[in-house]
Amino acid sequence: MRADRLVAALLVLQARGQVTAAQLARELEVSVATARRDLEALSAAGVPVYAQPGRGGGWRLLGGARTDLSGLTAHEAQALFLLVGPAAPAAPAVRSALRKLLRALPPTFRADAEAAAGAVVVDPARWGEPERERPAPVEVLQDAVVRRRTLRIGYEGRRGGPAERLVDPWGLVVKDDVWYLLAGTANGRRTFRVDRIARIVVTGETFERPAGFEPAEAWDDVVDAMERRRSALSATVLIDPRFVPILREHFGRHCQAMGTEADGRARVRVAAPDALTVAEQLAGWGGRVEVVEPAEVRAELARIGTELVERHHT
């Protein structure tokens, strides 16, 4: 587990003061390239780790050797917990490491570190979004979640320009490289895509999250509602079994293998909001896929095919 290694790497640095990537690799039983990437990840997360080039150099923890985490600043502690926190729910070893780190932090930093550990939810299930760079506002939003600062945002909705919203940032979620903000508003809990936030103003107001609120549970509610909308119509298709993994990449969790036909083709059920969306996602497969049912998807495919022939026939 990478998050567990990052914690272990930091503890090795604190115990020794300076290590080379090769030394850390031996200590953690990983490749030198992996050890170097882990050290770079710690540095990128804001932990004061830096490389000292030249003979006798290596990777150092700013401030020299330390035996505990009391040398970390509040911001550095938050950065570390934001980095490893998302892995904790599914990894007992990471949960244990985070508990040890919390005990080592100064009391004044523990509350923010604990908040940071649960501030970001990572959802590995895909919705078919293309890869994206992390939006610039994420760092500001993370800090606001941890410090419980009310924000005034300009949000680009689906129907027009940015509208001003006053929000209490409760948590962040990253899915398919797309970031979402879970927030409290005057109209209750809302979910905002971070890449649609045009501006952010940190107000002087603070807030308290609702008792019992857990970002992971709140995100499950969002996903359930979204999946119901995304899977309103199902279609059964036949396709060569070797293409099933690719089809699953297109439809994500709305792709279910249902067995094998006598001719060797796989029977698969896919789903989308409507017949047109299913047809549009299958049209590019051409003759590699056969839609068994429903009739409305077959009709949409036929219509798309006719349009293509009319447009490109020479």
Mean per-residue pLDDT, 11-40: 82
Rounded Cα distance between 206 and 244, Å, is: 49
Are 65 and 16 a contacting pair, CB within 8 Å? yes
Averaged over 209-214, what is the pLDDT? 84
Q: What is the pLDDT of residue 1?
A: 46
Output the pLDDT for position 185: 93
Cα four-point dihedral sign 79, 80, 81, 86: positive
Tell me if the domain spanning 138-228 has CATH number 2.30.30: yes
Q: What is the pLDDT of residue 90?
A: 47
**Domains 2-118 and 231-312 alike in fold:** no
Rounded to 5 degrees, what angle do the CA atoms 244, 239, 292 make?
125
Per-residue pLDDT tens digits for 243-277: 999 888 888 778 889 999 999 999 999 988 889 99
Provide, rounded to the nearest whole percent, the portion of the chain with pLDDT above 90.
24
Q: How far apart are CA 100 and CA 95, in angstroms?
A: 9
At position 164, the amino acid (one-letter code) is: E
Q: What number is the average pLDDT over the span 276-291?
A: 91
Please give the pLDDT value at position 311: 87
- What integer pLDDT is reported at residue 244 of this predicted model? 92
pLDDT of residue 63: 56
197 — pLDDT class (breaks 50, 70, 90): very high
Distance between terminal CA atoms of the chain? 56
Topology, domain 2-118:
Arc Repressor Mutant, subunit A (1.10.10)
pTM of the model: 0.48
- Right CATH for 231-312 from 1.10.3470, 2.60.120, 3.30.70, 3.90.550: 3.30.70
For the chain, the domains span 2-118, 138-228, 231-312
pLDDT at 293 over 90: yes
Give the whole-angstrom CA distance, residue 8 versus residue 5: 5
90/141: higher pLDDT: 141
Alpha carbon dihedral 15, 20, 23, 25, in 10-degree steps, equals 110
pLDDT above 60 (res 85): no
pLDDT for 184 equals 93
